[in-house]
Structure formats: structure tokens, C-alpha cells
Amino acid sequence: MQLNRISHRKKILVMFLGLTLAFVLLFVRLIYLTVWRSEYYTEQATRLHERERNIKAARGRILDRNGAVLADNKTVCTISVIYNQIEDPERVIKVLSEELELSEESVRRKVEKYSSMERIKSNVEKAVGDRIREYDLPGVKVDEDYKRYYPYGELASKVLGFTGGDNQGILGLEVTYDEQLQGEDGVILTVTDAAGVEVERMGERRIEPVAGNDLRISLDRNIQSYATQLAYQAMETKEAEGVSILVMNPQNGEIYAMVNVPEFDLNDPFALPEGTEDSLDSKEQQDLLNNIWRNGCINDTYEPGSTFKIITAAAGLESGVVTPSSTFSCPGYIIVDDRKIRCHKIAGHGSEDFVHATMNSCNPVFITVGLRLGVERYYEYFEEFGLKKKTGVDLPGEAGTIMHKMEDMGNVELATVSFGQSFQITPIQLLTTASSIINGGNRITPHFGIESIDSEQNVVETYTYPITQGIVSEETSATMRGMLEMVVKEGGGKNGQVEGYRIGGKTATSQTLPRGTGRYIASFIGFAPAEDPQVIALAIVTNPQGVYYGGQVSAPIVRQLFENILPYLGIEEDVQ
């Protein structure tokens, strides 16, 4: 009996001590949570009763080389509703449907939806947002926002690109430099009670947005505008399908203009041509838009024709298989294996040296140079000049060169490649390679981006681009400049002459594929001054009607362009 009492007391004591220890531990835990962790749990409790509304950051502007604003921001509003705070649903539905020009049915679905917040419409004009704010409707939120705005409409549309509803880049430079242009969104924090109604005395907390950085690019608004004017003029007078014009500094790769007409309105990029909305299904509409947005200078390849003889000539001179004084005889054709390939002059050019063969754009002579090089060595120069790689231009969607595999090339394929047929490159690739040959032999990277600038006008980042030196020697480069100057001075590029300036260049007239359809591409590359090139341009006219030769269709475009922009760029006339 006594032992049972002692055992019972021990059990009570153990239980008491256990409970006391548990109480002490709970008390210590309570002190820890209420003192040392109080700030954390206060924050968590606040978050539980806070509702967030994003404040979009202003996207960085895009500026031309002289500071002209090409892409800006326009203040707009986002209209939202908070279900638990709406006091008069019918009035809210009526006001929003009328002011936002939406159907009552669509507004009602969102107003009556039980959710923390429902967006009714974004990108609302500020004047409309201000009117809705004046109604002072409980549960209706009007937050100021930003929408991309392009002051010059169509100008450089396929270069600049545009943004979507979330202000993210969709096309062009807006995509390439999206990370730099995007800012950091801010937040409006509103405290609510358990029912989700705002606690008025608590007010709002704001985390302010941080604007994105501005982007300064090499494009010159004035040169782009004039080149666009010339392109539309040529498209109209020649009834062409399209016209592309590229203008670049051949010394460093800065692109002054990139025109692809027809262009599209950057402020309404999803607009379809009149009459197509009802006749096309959604997939056909999207395909049409993709075609409208397509930048032919970088997205499309074509057979360059005789402008590519610049590359063949440079390879021949660099390798030593030909010199400017080498002589040839052109009977109007050349036999390669079992193939008779004609010169554009059926009667032939007769006896001529290499300079005059270049001036005459004589196919048999350039085929001869290609055959002297041979497949393997020609292919090596093709790769050494950078033609097998993309240029690295800072725009999305650059196409690569379409070229025979070396093991599949015979003499006939080599012959046709030598004068610019049976393979395809992009216009930007052709202009970049030609620039690298005439600038002393340095392969440059074509580009637009120059620098990023913050809101206080500090340069955040200056962009640099690769240069490959010595793809041809200085001697070969100088010889090429002299030969191409003769093409414009006395040869097929006469229509590219500009009074007071020494101009170099090369014409081309190529057929589109499939051959025999009567469709042609007329083009001309021109550069100035011929002795020290500071600007180079390429004009391509697709399927001109009537006369379709590059020397008569495209060379005058570059001439008119140079007549205006050479003085503008500060390039002095030749006083000799």
C-alpha cells in the first residue's frame, strides 16, 4: 500500500515537471515570436491583408544617332474592378461599358466575377481614364500606365519593331534590346479587411517603378526618311513589288538607314490591308502580318548577280591568279564542261584587260577567274570573307547564306557562283562583305546599337562589335576601290555618278527563281569617296516593270541618295 502511494506521487511529480518544462518552452517560444520575430510576422500579417496593383515602368526610348526620339511612351490607363468593394454594380457596368465602348455583357462578366481584382481594359486613353476617375465609383481602380508610341509612324518600322500589350518587344530592335529598354515595375499596396474592403485609414503604400534605359542607335532619321522617299518613288515609277535600301559606314559597320518598302504603321502594327480581314481566316491573317513585318534586308536571301563579282575579283587579286592588267578574250560565251554560258553581251567584248572586264561586267572573264582559283581555293575565300557565317547584325531573324557544299561543286557550279548565281545571300551580308573588301580588308559587324543611357543621361553601356582584320590585303583593297571607281566613271555604273565626288560601285541584274518567269532583281552597290569610303549603299528593286537593268533602275537611286547625304554627312567634294 505504501509502495503504491510512493509510486503514484512519483508519477504526479514527473507529470508536473514535464508540464512545467513544456510551459516554460512554450513561454520562451512565445517570447521569441513576439519579440525577436515580431517584425517578420507583422509583415506577413500585413501581406495577408494587402492587395497589389502593378505600376508599369516607363520603357526606355529609342533615339537616333543625333538624339531624335524614334520610340517613346504615351501615358494611358488600366481600368480594373475589385469585387468586394463595388457598391453599385449596375452603375459600374453602365459607366464602364459606355466610356470604354465595350458591351455590357463583357463588362458584367468581369464586374460580377468573384476575384481579388479583375482587369476590364488596358491601354485606355488618359482622357478616358480621367473621366472614369471623376465618377468616383467604389471598387473601380484607374491606374496610369504606359503605351509605346512611335512619333514617325512608318519610319524604319522593320528596324525598330514594336511591343505587345505587356510592353515587351515583339519585333526588331525592341526585341534585341528588350532587357535594356525594360524598366522595373512598381507596386501599389492597399490594406484590406477580412472581407477584402479597403481600410481607408491605412491608405496606400507605393513602390515606385524604375524607368528603362534609353537606347541610342546609329540610324539617322534624316537619311532614313530620304531613303524611304526614294524607295517609294522607285516602287511607284517602276511598278515594283518592293524596294530595299541599305546605307552603312563601311569603316565601322554603323547602319545609317535600312529601308524595306512597303513599310507598316508602328502605332497600328496589326492592321491588315483593306478587304482582307473578312476574306482570310486567323492563320492566313497571321501569315499575312508576318509577311508585312518581314525585313527583307536581313530575313530574306536572293541571288546577288553581278554585284557579287566584287568578291570574285577580290579573291582572284588576293590569290594572284589575276592582275588588273591580265588580258582576256570574250567571244560572247564560255564553254564549261558541257555547258555553254553566255555573256550578257551576245556579240562579246573581244579583247579586254581585267579592269575593263569589271567595267563591262563580263561573265566569261569572271568565270575564268573562278576556274583558275578552283573549287577548293574559291570555297576557302568564300569562308575567309565571312560569307558562310551570319553577319551578327543586332536584329532578330537573320538568314544564313544558302551555298553548295564544297564536295557537291563542280566546274559548272563554280562558274555560276563566280558571277553571282546558283547560291543566295542576304542584302546585309553582301553589303558587309563588300565593305570589308573596300575598307582596307577588315571584316566589320553591321549594327545599330551604340549605347544605353539612364534617366540622368549617364552612359550605362557602350556597345562594341567584332572586327576581323586582314581578310584581304591593303593592296588588294586599294586595287578594288580603283577598279570599282572605273565601273562608275566609264563602265556600267555611269548612272551612279555624283558631280563633284569620286564614286565606286557595281551594278547587277539577276533573275528570280524559278528562271524564265520574266521576273528580275535590279541592284547597285555604291560607295564614296572612292579613295577613302565613308559611306556605302545598296539599292535593290524587286521585279521592276519595263527596263529592269541595275545600271538603269538602281544606280540612279543611289546617285540621288548620295547627292543629298554626302554634303549632309560632311563629306567634302573632290577639288581635283
Q: Please name every residue paired with 506 in a beta bridge, in sequence order, or none if there are none.
A: 525
CB 312 within 8 A of CB 418: yes
The three cell numbers locating residue 33: 515570436
Q: Strand, helix or coil at 183?
A: coil
Cα–Cα distance, 404 to 408 (Å, whole number): 6
> Could you confirm whether 306 is annotated as catalytic?
yes
Cα–Cα distance, 22 to 352 (Å, whole number): 108
DSSP 440: T
**Which residue intervals of 115-161 are DSSP H helices?**
126-134, 157-160
For cell 473601380, the residue is: 140
CB 56 within 8 A of CB 167: yes
Closest CA to 424 of 511, 362, 484: 511
The 3-state secondary structure of 465-500 reads CCCECCCCCHHHHHHHHHHHHHHHHHCCCHHHCCCC
Check 97, 157, 306, 436 and give the catalytic one.
306
For cell 479587411, the residue is: 193
CB 510 within 8 A of CB 307: no
The three cell numbers locating residue 231: 524607295
Amino acid at 434: A
Cα–Cα distance, 240 to 548 (Å, whole number): 10
CB 195 within 8 A of CB 189: no
The three cell numbers locating residue 404: 553548295
Active site residues: 306
